Structure 1
Amino acid sequence: MAPRAIVYGGGVIALMMVALCATVLYQSRQDALDRARETSRNVALIAERDIERNFELYALSLQAVVDGLGNAEVMALPSRLRGQVLFDGAATAKNLGSMLVLDASGNVIIDAGNDTPRKGNFADRDYFTVQRDNPSAGLYVSAPFRSRLRNGSQSIALSRRVSHPDGSFAGIVLMSINLEYFHQLFAGLSLGSHGAISLIAGDGLMIMRQPFDPKIVGRDISQASTFRQFQSSMEGSFSDTSSIDGMRRLYYFRNFQTLPLIIMVAEAEPEIYAAWSRRAVRIGTLMAVFALGFVALSFILGAQLRRRMRAESELQLLARTDSLTGLHNRRTLGEILEREWRRAQRMRSMFSLLFVDIDRFKAYNDTYGHQAGDDALAAVARCIGENIRRPADTAARYGGEEFIVVLPDTMPEGASVIAEKIRAAISDLAIEHAGSEYGRVTASIGSASWTPDQETDVRTVLKAADQALYEAKVAGRNKVATCAAAG
C-alpha cells in the first residue's frame, strides 16, 4: 500500500509541476507580449516626436509668411528681397518641396523657389478648398498627392489661410513635404522582417507605410477594423489582422496631440513569440521527462523543491530590500510609487512624498570612516521607519544618504508634521558630526503634495520634493521645506 501511495503522490506532484510549468510559460508569453508592446511604444514616440518637431517649425514658417503678406512694407520690397523676408530660408530645408502663395483663385502668385512664380492653378486641391471654405481651418494637413510642379513627386501639404482685412478669403500659403521624409524616418526604425509602421491621416488616408509600397500611399483604410480601434482612444494596443497584407500583428497606436495624424507601429505576432516558442518547446519537453522521473523520486525531489522555494523566497526578499538599512530598495520604491500614484489618480486623493537627505554626509564619512557612515545610515533609517505608522506609508532608500517616504492620502499639513517628526528624531539621535554646523548628524527634508491628474506622472511630485529639499539645504540645513500643493 505504501509504494502505491508514494507512486500516486509522486504522480499528483508531477501533474502539479506540469501545471506550474504551463503557468510559467504562459506568463513568459505575456512578458514577450509586454516587451513587444513597450518596444512598439518607444518606436512610435521616436517617430512622433521627430514629426511633431519638424511640423511645428514648418507651421511657424507658414505663419511668418501669412504675417508678412499682411505687412505693406514687406510686400513693397523687390521680389528677391521680399522672398528672403517671407520665407527666411525655410524652402531650402531638406525634404521640403514647393513653398507657394496662392491667390483666391488658386493661382501661384509667390514662389519661394523662383523669383518668377511657376505657373499653376491648385484650386482643386483639398489644401486649397478646405481653407477657402472654412475660415477657422488653421493649419491644415492635406491628403497625399503627386506634385504637378515636381514631376509627380509624392507629397503632402501644410497650408494656412490668407484673409483680407475684412476677413474674406485672399488665398493660402502652402508648404509641400516630400513623403520621402517619412520613408527615410520609418526605414531607420527596425521592427523585424514582418513588422510595419504607418502614418495615417485622421480621416483614414494612408500617408506612409513601412514596408514601403507606393500603391498604399493615399489608400483609404477608414473602414478597416484596425482604424476603428485607432479612433477609440488617444493611444492603445491591440491585436488584429492587417487589411493590407493579412498578417496578424500586435498594434500600438498614438493620435498626435496637435496634428490630425496617427502613428501606428505593429510587430508580427509570429516574430514576437518566435523565441518564446522555441523556449517553450525545450522547457515543456524537459518538464515532461522530469515529471516522469519524479514519480520514482517523489520524496527526494519534493524535499529539493521545498528547499528551492525557500531559497527563492529569501532571494526575492533580498532583491526588494536594502541590505544596510532594511528599508525598501530603489527598485521596489519605483513599483510602490507607480502603484500609489495610479491609485491616487483613480481616487483623486492627495499624494504626499518626503525627500530626506542627511546633511554633509560625505564629510561625516571622510571624518569617521565608512563603517561609522553605515551605522549612521542604519540609525537614520530606523528613525524614519519609527515615525511612519500607517500600513500604507512606505520608506525606501533612494540612494547614498537619500531616503524617500511615500505618504498616500496625506494632506500637506500632515506630511509636514511627519517630516518634522523625522527631522527632530534624527537630530535627537545626537550622533556626533564635527563637520556639521550643528555638531551632530542632521537631515534636511523636502515635502511635496500633489493631487494627480492624467497630465502628470509621479516624476512631477518627485521633482517638487527634490526642489523643496534643495530649498531646505539653502535655508541652512536641518530644516523641512514644503512645496505648495498642486494638481
Structure 2
Amino acid sequence: MIAIVMVSLCAAALYQSRQDALNHTRDTLRDISLIAQRDIERNFELYALSLQAVVEGLQQPDVMALPPRLRREVLFDRAASAKYLGSMLVLDEAGNIVIDSGSDRPRQGNFADRQYFIVQRDNPDAGLYISDPYQSRLRGGSPSIALTRRLSHPDGSFAGVVLLAVNLEYFHNLFSGLSLGPHGSMSLIGTDGVMVMRQPYDPRIIGRNIRGASTFQHFVSAQEGSFSETASIDGIRRLYWFQNFPHAPLILMVAAAEQDFYAAWWRRTLTIGSLMLVFGSVFVAVSMLLGVQLRRRMRAESELQLLARTDGLTGLNNRRSLGEILDQEWRRAKRTKSMMSLLFIDLDRFKAYNDTYGHQAGDDALAAVARCINGNIRRPTDTAARYGGEEFVVILPETPASGASEIAERIRNAICECGIEHAGSEYGRVTASIGTVSRVPQTDDDLTAVIRAADEALYNAKATGRNRVAKSQLS
C-alpha cells in the first residue's frame, strides 16, 4: 500500500505536469494564431478597401477623364506602394491589362486563363475572391496570391477584373518571426485544401492540395480547435491549433512538435521515475499478488457500471440512465426557473429498413445515427440517449425553443446527409422525424406531460411527411 500510494502520487504529479505542458503549449499556440490572424485580417481588410476604391473610381466619369498619371494616383492612391504588394491591375473583359498601378502606360499581359479571372467572369456574386498561389508573369515568377473584384457594365454584364497581387513573402516573413520550436510548423491553407504558405518554408509544398490529409479533415470540422496528429508532410507528431477566418476562405494552423514541448517533462520523468522505481520495488514485490487481484476487481466493477448505464450498440446513455438524468435536470430546471428542452427522434420507416437490409445493417445504421446525434450536441450538460429501438432522446438544459429547433434541424440534416440507402423510404435514404418541446417547469408541472408533448410533436412530424422537425404546442 505504501508503494502504491507513493507511486500514484508521483505518477499523478508527473501526469499533471504533462497536462500543464500540453495546456501551456495549447494556450501559446492559440495566442500565436491570434496574433497572425489579426495581422492577416487587418492587411486583407486594407487590401479589400483598396480594391473597392478602384471599383468605385472606375465608375466615376470624372476620374476616368483624368490624364493617365492623375487617374492612376486617384485610383490606386498609395496602396500600390505598400510593402509586399506586387501589382494592382485593371483587366478588361478579355483579360488584358488596361490600367496598371506601376506605370502610366500599362504593361502587356493577358490573364484570361487565370482562375481568379474565370471565377469573376462566370460568377457575378463572387465578391472579394482570394486565389490559390500562382507564379507571377509580370514579376519573374514571384509566388503570389491575388485578391480580385468583378467589374460590371451598367446592364450587369462582365466588364473585367480589378486585381491586387500579394507576395507570399509577406506570409513567409510573418510566420518566420513567430517562435514555434525546432520542429514546429505554421501554415495558411485555403478552405479548398491548397497550401498557401508553410513554415518551415519549402517552395515545393506551396500550392499543394492537402484535402485528403487527416489533419485537414480536422480543420474543416469546426471553426477553431485543437488536436494531436502526425503530419502527412514530414511524419512529425504535433499538437495543432487551427482557426478558420470568419470573413475569408482561409485556415490558419499553428503546431508545436510533441518532442519539443515534452522534452523537459521527459527528462524530469526519467529522473523522478527512476528514483521512485528503486525505492518502491521492495514494496511492490511483496504486494504484487494483492495488487493484481485488486485491479481485476476494480476493472470488473468499472465495466459493469459502464454497461449498466450505456447502450452497447450506440454508445449513448441507455433508457435507465436517461430516466435518472431527465429527472435530475427537470428538478434543477424547476429550482432555477430555467427552460429545458427535449428532442424525441425517431427513424422513418425503420422496420422496412430492417426487413430489406437485415438487422446487422440496421444496427450499423443506428450506430451511424447515434454518431450524428452526438456530434451535434456540444455542451457538457446536453445528453443523448437511446430510448428504445430506433428512438432517441436528447435533453437540452437551459435551452430555449429556438435553440432546440436549431439543434434538432442540425441533427435531422446530419442524419439525412449520411446518405444511408433506404429503398423503402420516399427520400431514398435513412431519415429521421424529430419532435421538440421546451418548457420552464412550473410548481405543479408533471414531467410525464412534457414527455407526452414531445412524443405528440414527433407524431405530428411523422404525419406531415417525415424527415422534418415539429414543435410541441406545450412550448
| Alignment of 1:215 onto 2:213 | no
Q: What TM-score results when the alignment is normalised by the length of structure 2?
A: 0.59
1:225 aligns with 2:214: yes
Q: Which residue of 1 aligns with 2:101?
A: 112
Cα offset for 1:140? Answer: 0.4
User: Cα distance, 1:84 vs. partner?
Assistant: 0.6
How far residue 290 of structure 1 moved from its aligned partner, in angstroms, is 4.0
User: What does residue range 86-125 of structure 1 map to in structure 2 within 5 Å?
Assistant: 86-125=75-114
Separation (CA, whole Å) in 2 of partners of 1:208 and 1:292: 52
Deviation at 1:286, TM superposition (A): 2.5
- Of residues 32, 49, 55, the one that matches 2:21 is 32
Q: How far did 1:23 drift?
A: 1.9
- After superposition, residues 128-147 of structure 1 pair within 5 angstroms as 128-147=117-136
- Aligned residue identity for 1:26: Y
Per-residue deviation, residues 131-186 of structure 1 (Å, max 9, x unmatched): 11111111000010000000000000000001111111100100000000000000
Structure 1 letter corresponding to 2:153: H
| Other-structure match for 1:240 | 229
1:194 counterpart (179, 183, 195): 183
Question: Does the residue aligned with 2:198 lie in a helix, a strand or coil?
Answer: strand
2:145 corresponds to 1:149: no
- Three-state SS of the structure 2 residue aligned to 1:259 is coil
Secondary structure of 1:216 counterpart: coil
Partner of 1:183: 172
How many pairs are equivalent?
291
Q: What's the counterpart of residue 9 of structure 2? A: 20
Structure 1: state its 5+ residue gaps.
1-11, 296-342, 351-408, 410-487
Counterpart of 2:384 in structure 1 is: none
Bigger Rg, structure 1 or 2: 1
**Which residue in the other structure is 1:78 paired with?**
67
Deviations 1:420-454 (A, max 9, x none): xxxxxxxxxxxxxxxxxxxxxxxxxxxxxxxxxxx
CA displacement at 1:282 relative to structure 2: 1.3
Identity over aligned residues, as a percent? 68
* CA pair 349-226 structure 1, distance change in 2 beyond 3 A: farther
Find the aligned partners of 1:114 and 1:226 in 2 and give their Cα distance.
Answer: 44
Instruction: Return the offset for 1:348.
Output: 11
Match of 1:58 in 2: 47
Q: Gaps (5+ residues) in structure 2? A: 285-331, 340-397, 399-475
Q: Deviations over 1:200-233 (max 9, x none)?
A: 0110000000000001100000111110110000
Q: CA, structure 1 residues 111+348, in 2 after alignment: closer, same or farther (shift >3 Å)?
A: farther
2:4 and 2:78 mapped to 1: Cα distance? 73
**Structure 1 residues 348 and 222: CA distance shift in structure 2, 3 A:** farther
d(CA) in 2 for partners of 1:14 and 1:268? Answer: 34
Distance 1:349 1:255, change over 3 A: farther
Q: Take 2:337 and 2:90, find their aligned partners in 1: how far apart are those partners?
A: 50
Task: Measure how far apart 1:44 and its partner are.
Answer: 0.7
Equivalents in 2 of 1:349, 1:257: separation in Å?
Answer: 32
Deviations 1:234-253 (A, max 9, x none): 00111111111111111110
Q: Distance in 1 between matches of 2:242 and 2:206?
A: 18
How many Å apart are 1:291 and its aligned residue?
3.5
* RMSD, matched Cα: 2.1
| 2:275 is equivalent to residue 259 of structure 1 | no
Q: 1:34 to 1:79 in 2, by over 3 A?
A: same
TM-score (norm 1): 0.58
Residue deviations 1:296-327 (CA, integer Å, cap 9, x gap): xxxxxxxxxxxxxxxxxxxxxxxxxxxxxxxx
